[in-house]
Amino acid sequence: MESETYRGYVLWGHVIREQPGVLERERYAASGTVTKGGKFIEASGILGVVDSESAAERIGLEWARAWVDSHA
């Protein structure tokens, strides 16, 4: 989980590792959370499923930035 501060909010990009089958590669679901002053503001659902943890974190942070831009 990676965080960043953006326009007074703390944003989180989450990685949720999916359970692969025997012959499947690992995949990661992405989600994001917005907090301010240590309090929960908003969270996404699953935003997509990707092949890397870093891509999942990036997608979550991008969603959180967009949420702030449209609500702040």
CA dihedral sign, ordered 35, 37, 39, 41: negative
Number of domains making up the chain? 1
Whichever domain contains 41, its CATH number is 3.30.160
CB burial class (10 A; 0-12, 13-18, 19+) of residue 24?
A: exposed
Q: What is the pTM of this model?
A: 0.90
C-alpha separations of 53 from 10, 28, 38 in Å: 20, 6, 25
pLDDT at position 21 over 80: no
Q: Residues 24-61: pLDDT tens digits?
A: 788 999 999 999 999 999 999 999 999 999 999 999 99
Residue 38 structural domain: 2-71
